[in-house]
Structures are given as structure tokens and as C-alpha cells.
């Protein structure tokens, strides 16, 4: 399935929605989206992954990049990641650096 | 800002090139491209071979132009490569004349010795495609791991309690319940267990890329395929963590996964020590494969006889030529890389005496490599531990060229304690030395030079040490000829498993005796993975080739042997709470602070009266708390009674200064839960004058 990425920003919360397969060929688009939202200096980054079916190591590299690009004070939420994607994140230990949520918890994210 | 000072000057078949930088060796990212640098003192030409990941045939072969060689280093920058998907290797031209030490073969593709990631064995145990002529392929790694605030812990060496473990064995067994069994991620899942045990240093058997398919054979009885090299003591690539040890190996993220493990261990107060194997490589002798060094510069990398054969001081086929200046630099580069990039806290050097031999095998009085390592600026805070012997007869325990820095695996401690434990005669004098951190061996160094251990991956587990008189290694397929014969073990009355309750009770007690003596000794204690739950290898004392339950930690034993685990936990906690057990300097046997007691004193069934005779099996010592850390720290008085005699006895206790009373911390002769107490909750001893200590029993008292 083709990769898709959309962005939106409200109230200092940047939201990037991913769909399809994130691999070496599509990672560049994800990266561009991260760079784009970074210019607005959001206080939170939310990555909607409920429509993401697959993530390869290239995608993980962009997550690492996002964490560094956003800066230490910016919390990164990963919402709705599928089991396989979650597992990849857990295997590398990256889950310690982000906040994993099953659903969009407005109370937590928008506070 | 786009740099304008790095642009291509050459071109080959569509690939844009530029003369590279000779340092650093290996593949490094430069603006717009990748720098490939490799050394060879006898090659006549070099070609860079590029692959798309996983493809059998090369994508491109780019000869290094003549002007890209400086001295003996070939360096080239290649622009526009897909760094996620590239694998690379080298073809080296040169003479093929083994009697002169040259094995150049242009038809072979060779792996970069400085490869930071190696493809080809991405998932443990998957049978490789034997049609692939380039089996172990160098890959590129990213440096973007986020360490946050992590740094090496720099725990003072005297405070370490080391746990020697094998990555795969630790969590591979289904009983582990691990989500990622047998991997770095799996170890992360068990960090709470390690924390509860109380150890603060995890020493891992070699994690560098090795080939689990090397030298495979078949189990003589079951026909099961045996891994020739399960433990990993046969390195292919010194700069790369084993992909097959990572759950993300198949994704190529093993570098990140291992770093995440180090970070998480540090977060939990546990240091990471790596077992390094610079004494030989996986290429074996004349009959071994071409992987890397042999085809790149055989004469430089290996110790060769005048006829061109491989010296074999490692017992495995070849010997790395460590004191050749180029190889020495590779070793130093490698350790600096692990210390800086992976935040590793220390290194244990396998067969370290080889590192002190010159290129012709003769022992050096002042080996340049060992000296360089001892004084290296980047390694300055790393622990350096030597297995101070090799397979060529060079035994250097107590005489290893230490430069005041190197600690040693104290093989004499292991042997002395084992004999004392068995109840042999003529040992109290030696035991007194071992308990004090072996001043007879390390007088100018202090106890911190001594890594005390009773068991390690080589040899019996603790349970087997008290259950077998002889080794039982038939399952290794070498006719029981492999493995050590001088095990100093005692089966307590029956060889192997038995229903006899008395024998089993004695075995349990002996295991507790062993670890109790270890934890109250000056020096640094090391325990073997699984000893805390009485792991058994069924009498096999050399399980180097078993990828099965023989080696795997059985997590069911955490419950079934909870008594043993509890004993270990309290004992480790006791050691960590009493600085008088962890001195940096040797005890003087005198009263230096005016407490009225020497820092250490020796006793017997009578206080102040030790029996040093040949037939004595009893040794008792008192540590005066006022002398802890040279008198700088206040601690309790600790009295240790080691009765290895087959009869029990009444032991009179020395008097304590007023205000202090004897409390009992441990007595291996008592049934659980009275065998040991949580430190701090030790009950008051009823009779302050003395106590009865049973046969083959250790009792530890605290005067507070």
C-alpha cells in the first residue's frame, strides 16, 4: 500500500498522520513532514499511526530524527500503532523515548 | 549550508569519486558521500566492491586509482550511495606465497576489519545461502542514537559485583517468558531480576559478530546439529555487535538495540563489561576460510612461523599479531570505539597473555599494546580485566604486565577456594591470602587487582561443582577429551543426580558455603549466570557448542530454587552494605586506628587463636569496622567462621567493644529461612560467648 503523510497544527500541537508502508523509499516524505512542522516550534508532536501497516528501520531512523529535531522539551506521542509496528519500536528500546497511546487521548495530549 | 569544498574529481562507471581521507579506517560518512579507507602493507592494488543489500552479485567494482593510495593506506570517497542499502567489501591484489606469509587472492571479496555492522547472519541459526561468495558483508551504521544523559557509570571497581552471562542463554529458554528471547532486547526485559539479585555489573560473553555456523558438527547421541561456536569466542568483526543477538537484527538495527540495552542497564545502576577476544580470529589456520584479515594483509595481522605457518597460542588455529604496531592500533581503535560509542564500562580480555607476546610469540617484558591500553586517554576510566594466561603455556596470574591498571581473573582464588571447600588439608595459609585479596600476588596493587571467582563459563557451574567428581562432556562429540581435568570438584558422595536427602542437603550447603566465602573476600567477586538458582549443565564443564537447554537459563528454577536465590540476594546486599569487605588497599593485620583491634585478625574455635597447621580445615577472621576503607568509613565488625571440617564444633567469639553485640547474619548449616537474614535485620545472638557451627558450614556474624 502506498505511503501517505499529512500534517496539521493546532494550538502548538503538531499532528502527523501516517498511512500505508513506511520504508526506505517513503521515509524521505516522513522526514520532510517532520522538518516542516518543526519550523512552527510546536510544544507537542503527535504521530497518528493507526493507518500505518508497516515500518522498516528507515522509519525508525526518522523517529529518532524527529525526537532530536523537536528538542528535549517536546513530548512525542505515538497513537494507535499496530502490533508489528509497536514491536519494532519496543525491540530497539525507542518506546522509552516516546509516549505510546492506543487512542487519541485529548485530555493527555492537549493539556 | 551546503559545503563546496568536497566535490568529486574522478569518475568510474557512473560513480563519482574523490581521494579519501586515510583516517579513520573503515567506512565513514563525509559530506555527500562515504569515505572508504583500508590498510595493507603488502597488497599491490585494491578494489572497492559494492553490493545492494542481500544481492549475490556485486553492483559495482571500483578500483582505487593509484593516486588514492598514501603509504600503505587506500582511501576513497564515493558520492551518491544509498547508505541504507549498501554493503561493501574489498578485493586485494598481491602475491600468493604462504611460505612468505602472503595469501592474497583476487578472487575473494574481503570484509573490512573496521566494519561496524556485518550482514550475512542477520537472524541466529538461519541457514545461509552457501552460493553467496561474500558471506560476511560490511555495512554502514548511523550515529544518531539518542543517549540522552547516559554516561559510563564509573562505579569504583572495589564496589562491583560481576555477573557473567551469555546473551542468548540468558533468555532463550521458553520459561523466560521473554517477548524477545535470546536477544539484547530480552536482557532488557530481565533487568528487574538482575536489580533484585543485586549485581551491578553485567559481563557479557563475546557480542562481536561471529559465525554460529563455523565448525558445526553433530551430537554423537541425538544426531542434533551442534553449533561449533555458541559462546562466541571466534570473532569475525571486532567493531560490530552480533546481528543474530538482536531482535531487530533482521531490520539492521542491532546497533541501536545494543545501545538501548546499555542505556537501560545504566539507568538501573548496572555497568556493562564486554569479553573481548583479541587473541585470535575466526579465520582459523591454513585450512580456514577467507573472511577478512587473511586476504587483506596476512603477514601483518597474524603471528607466523618462519616457514609461514600460523602460530597457535590460542588453541584455535591462529594468533592475532597484537604487538605489531598496526594491529595494536586496531585493537586500541576498537576498544576506544566501544567505550565512546557504546558507553561500555569495562573489558575482560580472553587469553590476555597473548597480548603480551611479540610477533614471533616470545613474551615481552614491556608489551606495547598492554602499556598503551593501560594509559589510553579514552579508556582511562574503563575497567581492564585480563584472563592472565593463554593456551601456549604463558601463565601470568600475579605477574601480568599491569602498569598499575589491569585487574586479573584470579585463577589461584578459584583453585584455592575449591580445594578448601572440598575439605582438603594444608590450605588455611593459602585461604588467608585469598580472603585478603591475594596480597601474595598483588602486593603493590591492592585487592582491586583480583577478580575473585569460583565459577565461570569455562568449567563446572556451581551446582555441578558439588555434584560431580569428573567431567561428562560426551555430548560435545570429542570423546570427553575436551574441557579441564583439574576441576577440584567434589560430588558430596554420589556422581550426579541422587534422591539421597543428605547428599542433596550437603550440596545445597556447599553451594552456599562457596558463595558466602566469595562475597566476604577482599577483591572483586564474579558469579556465573544461573549459579544463583543452582543451574546445572549435567556435569558438562565445556558447553561451548550447545544451543539448547544445557546452556539456557531455566527460569522455572527461580521458583524451584528460591532458597538459593534468596541466599545469593541477601549475601550480595550484605557485601554492598559493608565497606569493610570492599577495601581498596590490602589489610595490614595491624591496628592502625587505635580501635584495639587489627584491621583483620585470625581466629579458630578459640578466639584470637587460629590453627594454621597442615591438617586444619577451619579458618576464622574478624574485620574491625573502624578500619573500613583505611579508617575513613565507619562500619560494623564482621566475623566469618569457615568450618570445612567434617565435624561441627563450638566456636568461641571474641569480645566486642562496649555497646556492640554479636548478631547472626548467616549460617549455612541452618534450614531456610534461618540460613540467612536480610542485612539490617540480623537477630541478636543468644549466647554472646559463642555458637555451635556444624560440619562444612560457614557462619557470618555482625558486631553492631
* Helix (H) / strand (E) containing B195: helix B191-197
The answer for B662, left when phi > 0, alpha when psi is -120 to 50, beta otherwise, is: beta
B205-251: per-residue pLDDT in tens? 999 999 998 887 877 778 877 888 899 999 999 999 999 999 999 88
Q: Where are any strands of DSSP class E within B295-382?
A: 346-349
Residue window 16-45, chain A: list those with CB within 8 Å of chain B: 24
Q: What is the residue-averaged pLDDT of chain B?
A: 95
pLDDT band with cut points at 50, 70 and 90 for residue A111: confident
Catalytic residue among B387, B390, B458, B554: B387
B563-609: per-residue pLDDT in tens? 999 999 999 999 999 999 999 999 999 999 999 999 999 999 999 99
**Residue B387 appears among annotated catalytic residues:** yes
How far apart CA B554 and CA B545 sit, in angstroms, is 18
A32-56: per-residue pLDDT in tens? 999 999 998 999 999 999 999 988 8
B646-704: per-residue pLDDT in tens? 999 999 999 999 999 999 999 999 999 999 999 999 999 999 999 999 999 999 999 99
What burial class does residue B644 get, using C-beta atoms within 10 Å of its C-beta: 0-12 exposed, 13-18 middle, 19+ buried?
buried
**Is A93's CB within 8 Å of B264's CB?**
yes
pLDDT band with cut points at 50, 70 and 90 for residue A24: confident
- Span of B137-151, B526-540, B636-650 with lowest mean pLDDT: B137-151
Contacting residues of B for A60, CB less than 8 Å apart: 251, 253, 256
Averaged pLDDT for residues B325-335: 95
Averaged pLDDT for residues B327-354: 96
How far apart CA B75 and CA B339 sit, in angstroms, is 26
What pLDDT does B1 receive? 59
Q: Could you tell me where the DSSP H helices lie in B343-477?
A: 368-375, 411-422, 428-435, 439-442, 462-465
What burial class does residue B202 get, using C-beta atoms within 10 Å of its C-beta: 0-12 exposed, 13-18 middle, 19+ buried?
buried
**Is A68's CB within 8 Å of B146's CB?**
yes
Closest by Cα among B643, B625, B642 to B634: B625
Please say if the pLDDT value at position B290 is more than 90: yes
How far apart CA B699 and CA B681 sit, in angstroms, is 16
| Residue B479 neighbours by CB under 8 Å, 6+ apart | none
Please say if the pLDDT value at position B2 is more than 80: no
**Is B145's CB within 8 Å of A65's CB?**
no
Residue of A nearest to B82 (CA): A24
8 A C-beta contact, residue B427 and residue B433 = no
pTM > 0.90: yes
Residue B618 distance to chain A (closest CA, Å): 51
Residue window 92-111, chain A: list those with CB within 8 Å of chain B: 92-94, 96-97
8 A C-beta contact, residue B262 and residue B272 = yes
| Predicted interface score ipTM higher than 0.90 | no
Residue of B nearest to A91 (CA): B185
Contacting residues of B for A65, CB less than 8 Å apart: 144
How far apart CA A100 and CA A84 sit, in angstroms, is 14
The answer for B523, left when phi > 0, alpha when psi is -120 to 50, beta otherwise, is: left
Cβ–Cβ pairs < 8 A, chains A and B: 57
Q: Which three cell numbers stand for residue B582?
A: 570492599
Torsion, Cα B284 B289 B293 B294, to 10 degrees, reads 90
Q: State whether residue A64 sits within 8 Å of chain B by CB.
A: yes
Which domains occur in chain B, in start order?
Answer: 10-139 (2.60.40.10), 589-703 (2.60.40.1180)
**Is B144's CB within 8 Å of A64's CB?**
yes
B216-to-B106, B366, B371 alpha-carbon distances in Å:
28, 39, 38
Catalytic residue among B333, B350, B531, B554: B350
The CATH architecture one would assign to domain A4-109 is 2-Layer Sandwich (3.30)
Q: For cell 568450618, name the residue.
A: B643
**Is B146's CB within 8 Å of A64's CB?**
yes
Amino acid at each position: 500500500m502506498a505511503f501517505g503523510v499529512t500534517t496539521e497544527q493546532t494550538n502548538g500541537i503538531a499532528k502527523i498522520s501516517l498511512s500505508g508502508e513506511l520504508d526506505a523509499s517513503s521515509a524521505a516524505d516522513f522526514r520532510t513532514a517532520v522538518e516542516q512542522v518543526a519550523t512552527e516550534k510546536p510544544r507537542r508532536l503527535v504521530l497518528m499511526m493507526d493507518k500505518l501497516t508497516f515500518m522498516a528501520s528507515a522509519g525508525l531512523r526518522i523517529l529518532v530524527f524527529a525526537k532530536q529535531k523537536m528538542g528535549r522539551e517536546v513530548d512525542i506521542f505515538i497513537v494507535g500503532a499496530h502490533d508489528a509496528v509497536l514491536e519494532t519500536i519496543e525491540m530497539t528500546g525507542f518506546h522509552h523515548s516516546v509516549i505510546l497511546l492506543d487512542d487519541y487521548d485529548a485530555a493527555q495530549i492537549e493539556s | 549550508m551546503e559545503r563546496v569544498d568536497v566535490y568529486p574529481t574522478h569518475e568510474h562507471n557512473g560513480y563519482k569519486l574523490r581521494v579519501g581521507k586515510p583516517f579513520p579506517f573503515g567506512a565513514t560518512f563525509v559530506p555527500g558521500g562515504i569515505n572508504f579507507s583500508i590498510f595493507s602493507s603488502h597488497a599491490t592494488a585494491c578494489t572497492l566492491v559494492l553490493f545492494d543489500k542481500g544481492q549475490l552479485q556485486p553492483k559495482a567494482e571500483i578500483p582505487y586509482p593509484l593516486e588514492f593510495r598514501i603509504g600503505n593506506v587506500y582511501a576513497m570517497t564515493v558520492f551518491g550511495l544509498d547508505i541504507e542499502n549498501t554493503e561493501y567489501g574489498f578485493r586485494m591484489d598481491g602475491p600468493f606465497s604462504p611460505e612468505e606469509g602472503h595469501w592474497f587472492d583476487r578472487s575473494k571479496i574481503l570484509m573490512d576489519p573496521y566494519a561496524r555492522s556485518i550482514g550475512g547472519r542477520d537472524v541466529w541459526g538461519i541457514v545461509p545461502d552457501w552460493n553467496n561468495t561474500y558471506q560476511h558483508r560490511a555495512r554502514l551504521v548511523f550515529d544518531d542514537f539518542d543517549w540522552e544523559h547516559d554516561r559510563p557509570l564509573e562505579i569504583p571497581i572495589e564496589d562491583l559485583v560481576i555477573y557473567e552471562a551469555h546473551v542468548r542463554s540468558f533468555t532463550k529458554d521458553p520459561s523466560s517468558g521473554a517477548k524477545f528471547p535470546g536477544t539484547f532486547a530480552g536482557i532488557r526485559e530481565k533487568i528487574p531480576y538482575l536489580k533484585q539479585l543485586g549485581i551491578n555489573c553485567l559481563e557479557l560473553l563475546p557480542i562481536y559478530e561471529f559465525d554460529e555456523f563455523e565448525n558445526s558438527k553433530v551430537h554423537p547421541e541425538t544426531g542434533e546439529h551442534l553449533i561449533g561456536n555458541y559462546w562466541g569466542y571466534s570473532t569475525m568483526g571486532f567493531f560490530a555487535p552480533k546481528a543474530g543477538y538482536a531482535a531487530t537484527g533482521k531490520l539492521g538495527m542491532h546497533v541501536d538495540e545494543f545501545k538501548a540495552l546499555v542505556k537501560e542497564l545504566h539507568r538501573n545502576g548496572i555497568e556493562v563489561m564486554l569479553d573481548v577476544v583479541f587473541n585470535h580470529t575466526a579465520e582459523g589456520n591454513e585450512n580456514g576460510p577467507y573472511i577478512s584479515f587473511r586476504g587483506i594483509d596476512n603477514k601483518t595481522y597474524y603471528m607466523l612461523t618462519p616457514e609461514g605457518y600460523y602460530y597457535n597460542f590460542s588453541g584455535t588455529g591462529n594468533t592475532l599479531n597484537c604487538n605489531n604496531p598496526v594491529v595494536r592500533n586496531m585493537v586500541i581503535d576498537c576498544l576506544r570505539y566501544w567505550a565512546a560509542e557504546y558507553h561500555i564500562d569495562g573489558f575482560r580480555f580472553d587469553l590476555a597473555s597473548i597480548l603480551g607476546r611479540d610477533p614471533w610469540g616470545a613474551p615481552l617484558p614491556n608489551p606495547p599494546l598492554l602499556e598503551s591500553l593501560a594509559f589510553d586517554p579514552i579508556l582511562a576510566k574503563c575497567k581492564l580485566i585480563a584472563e592472565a594466561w593463554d593456551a601456549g603455556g604463558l601463565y601470568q596470574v600475579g605477574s601480568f604486565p599491569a602498569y598499575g591498571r589491569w585487574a586479573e581473573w584470579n585463577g589461584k582464588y578459584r583453585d584455592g577456594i575449591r580445594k578448601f571447600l572440598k575439605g582438603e588439608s594444608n590450605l588455611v595459609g593459602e585461604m588467608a591470602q585469598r580472603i585478603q585479596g591475594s596480597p601474595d600476588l598483588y602486593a603493590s596493587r591492592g585487592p582491586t587487582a583480583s577478580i575473585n571467582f569460583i565459577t565461570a563459563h569455562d568449567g563446572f557451574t556451581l551446582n555441578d561443582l558439588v555434584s560431580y567428581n569428573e567431567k561428562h562432556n560426551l555430548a560435545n562429540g570429542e570423546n570427553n577429551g575436551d574441557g579441564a581435568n583439574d576441576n577440584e570438584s567434589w560430588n558430596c558422595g554420589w556422581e550426579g543426580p541422587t534422591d539421597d536427602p543428605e547428599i542433596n542437603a550437603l550440596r545445597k550447603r556447599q553451594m552456599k558455603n562457596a558463595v558466602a566465602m566469595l562475597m566476604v573476600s577482599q577483591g572483586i567477586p564474579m558469579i556465573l549466570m544461573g549459579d544463583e538458582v543452582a543451574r546445572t549443565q549435567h556435569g558438562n564443564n565445556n558447553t561451548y557448542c550447545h544451543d539448547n537447554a544445557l546452556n539456557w537459563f531455566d527460569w522455572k528454577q527461580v521458583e524451584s530454587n528460591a532458597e538459593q536465590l534468596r541466599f545469593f540476594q541477601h549475601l550480595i546486599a550484605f557485601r554492598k552494605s559493608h565497606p569493610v569487605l570492599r577495601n581498596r588497599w590490602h589489610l595490614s593485620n595491624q591496628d592502625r586506628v587505635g580501635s584495639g583491634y587489627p584491621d583483620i585478625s585470625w581466629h579458630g574455635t578459640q578466639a584470637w587463636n587460629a590453627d594454621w597447621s597442615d591438617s586444619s580445615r577451619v579458618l576464622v577472621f574478624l574485620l574491625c569496622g573502624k578500619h573500613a576503607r583505611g579508617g575513613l568509613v565507619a562500619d560494623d565488625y564482621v566475623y566469618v567462621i569457615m568450618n570445612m571440617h567434617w565435624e561441627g564444633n563450638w566456636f568461641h567469639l571474641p569480645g566486642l567493644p562496649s555497646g556492640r553485640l554479636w548478631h547472626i547474619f548467616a549460617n549455612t548449616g541452618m534450614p531456610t529461612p534461618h540460613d540467612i537474614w536480610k542485612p539490617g535485620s540480623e537477630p541478636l545472638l543468644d549466647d554472646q560467648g559463642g555458637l555451635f557451627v556444624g560440619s562444612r558450614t560457614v557462619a557470618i556474624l555482625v558486631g553492631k
